[in-house]
Amino acid sequence: MSFSVHRRSTSASNMHVLTFLRQTEPETQEISRAAEVFQTTLQVLKNRARQRYKREVTTSELSECLIPLQSITCPQDDDDKYRTITGLCNNRQNPLWGAANTPFVRWLPAEYEDEEREPKGWNPGRLYNGFQLPLVRQVSQEILRSCSKPSDDAFSQMLVEWGQYINHDITFTAQSPGTAMRMSGVDCLNTCENVHPCFPIKCGEQDCLPFTRSAPACFVNCTSDVRQALQRQQMNIITSFIDASLVYGSTPKQQASLRDLSSDEGKLAVNERLKDPKGRDYLPFVASLPSPCRQDPNDVDGERVECFAAGDTRVNEGLPLTVLHTLFFREHNRIAGELKRINCHWSSETVYQEARKIIGALHQIITMRDYMPKILDQESFDHYIGPYEGYDETVDPSASNVFATAAFRFGHPTISPILMRLDEKFQEHKCFPHLRLHQTLFSQWRIVKEGGIEPILRGMIGVAARTVSPDMLVTEEVAQKLVVLNIPREMDLGSLNLQRGRDHGLPGYNDWRVFCGLSPIKTLDHLKSIVKDTSVAEKILKIYKHLDNIDVWFGGIIESFNPNSRIGPLFSCLMGKQMKALRDGDRFWWEAENVFTQQQKAELSKTSLSRIICDNTDIKEVHPDAFRFEKYPSGYLCCDDIPSINLEAWREEKH
């Protein structure tokens, strides 16, 4: 069946539902358009110059795409008390490090088939180590697909959901803008040909899944030659720092749109139409109405629940993600209200910035203290991250391409096909039964009309996380029924991840093992020892033909876990290296000198995700560590017994 036939069988309304997801800010769209024009123009100029001069031509000041570093003025002293919303000037010597709308860093050089921008698999006849690369759909269908996974009795489902949530604080890759399609004259939803920016996922001779390449990044080093300028890099459109940018945004315009500027309390704007059953606030609706989020099919009165607005436009992707966004949005307003009570002389701006600073610190503490030691084993944590020794201005905190595109996608195999909703006794909710994953996507009405965030939140902390075995890697719910972007058919997460890695020119699995000081996999027996499953190892070699051809994301997820870890040796290295850079290269890290007082640090150390749940929901009993799983009521404490931060440490006498 051809792709066009598939498309005709899909409803137009279903397509419209998803056009909204992952919208990018105007600043990002402008940079993406400039980068596309920049690359296309340089390709033309390069070809003409080569023909005329019979050599490569060097240049500088090539286009508006270039960012003039000398035009960036970083604030000093008293004006530098808080982070910029864009991440600029965190490092005063290198103001673009970690900032929004800048390229992902490369820890290994990109590998493109033309050395510039054509991804692996672009040219069908191209051989790698004597063999063609397997189709990513084949790898996904023959190895990654599964129907179920065992549970992990040590950790709760919250460990999985936090991984996605905090990932959205660190990385966000933009798709190529419509400009690129107009320039090439193709529509990526309607072609099975590799025509830039379309790189469709082949499903056979005549069928494919649509795939649009990631947007190129603007070239920021104006001293290099055309060859370096032409090589395609991808852009992180949010700040790389763990700074709660998914709560506040990464551009001034986005930040302003999320604030309640009508009062002097420094709070975030709330939903003016809806409250939860206990009168608590929901996130505001998006400005452009009606939004494309799904609606209750049984709603007779036609009362719409629109998409929610937050600092990250992916907030509506799934209900657990929306729940965590709601939790920290409420926590900001709770803290802001308390800070204003304690310091009534503070301006709205001071209250907002101090609350934002605290919320950023909470994200850092929960991630580095409570989350990462459960993902890495202690030995790997100590080796790759180690104790904090202060801010290091020589460390680039920018997110790396391999981290964003492969390593931090380690949790995709642990996605649960069922969203559990539990009652006050952590039993299946009688009114709101469990849901299949595909029923929860862009369905914010289920929060508003089906009991608020509490039933879902209890399911996140009161249900064991799913784990991974090599013969059961990706659930059917994301292998066949994933709803993505504006694509008018259900997609396959495994195929998307593999294709994205090739799109970004990531070197192969063995190259990254060598980068991390691990021995490359050279024999089937070695692969069997890594995978710990003979039949799966044999199937991998049969499909890839050569072990050097294994894609890095796939190689990382098939490795057997390190003891007391959720990942294997390769991803332990890549995750650890990135997390250390995000911590050590952040001038505003919560433990850094002069960011908080010693008394404030002592109070912040008392924080926990469990306490935040207690303070912002109707849940009365929690496990003291929300990432740990114990069957209720074993190990659960009354919220009154969970330590809390005393904000009196932020009291400031009026001058």
**74-112 tens-digit pLDDT:** 887 666 899 999 999 999 999 999 999 999 999 999 999
Domains of the chain: total:
1
Torsion of CA 477, 480, 482, 486, to 10 degrees: -170
Residue 655 falls inside a structural domain: no
In terms of pTM, does the model score above 0.95? Answer: no
pLDDT at residue 363, rounded to an integer: 98
H-helix or E-strand spanning residue 418: strand 418-419
The pLDDT of residue 204 is: 79
Q: CA-based angle 198:202:204, to the nearest 5?
A: 150
pLDDT score recorded for residue 19: 38
Q: Is residue 521 part of a domain?
A: yes
Q: Would you say residue 399 lies in a domain?
A: yes
Whether 239 maps to a domain, the answer reads: yes
CB neighbour burial string for 315-353, b if at least 16 within 10 angstroms, e if fewer:
bbbbbbbbbbbbbbbbbbbbbbebbbeebeebebebbbb
Judge whether 594 lies within some domain.
yes
The pLDDT tens digits for 103-133 are 999 999 999 999 999 999 999 889 999 999 9
434 among annotated binding-site residues: no
Does residue 335 lie in a domain region? yes
Residues 6+ apart with CB under 8 A from 653: none
Tell me how far apart the alpha carbons of residues 350 and 68 are, in angstroms, rounded to a whole number: 31
Asked if residue 63 has pLDDT above 50, the reply is no
pLDDT of residue 1: 31
Q: What positions carry a catalytic annotation?
A: 168
- Structural domain containing residue 336: 3-650
pLDDT, tens only, 604-629: 999 999 999 999 999 999 999 999 99
Is 471 domain-assigned?
yes
Q: Is residue 308 part of a domain?
A: yes
pLDDT digits (tens, 9 = 90+) for 246-276: 999 999 999 999 999 998 999 999 999 999 9
The three-class DSSP label of residue 619 is coil
Q: What is the CATH number of the domain that holds 467?
A: 1.10.640.10
Q: Which residues of 581-611 are buried (b: 16+ CB within 10 A; e: fewer)?
A: bbbbbbbbbbbbeebbeeebeebbeebbbbb
β strands within 115-247, DSSP E? 145-146, 151-156, 201-202, 208-209, 235-236
Which has the closest alpha carbon to 470: 411, 543, 554? 554
The number of beta carbons lying within 10 Å of the beta carbon of residue 436 is: 12
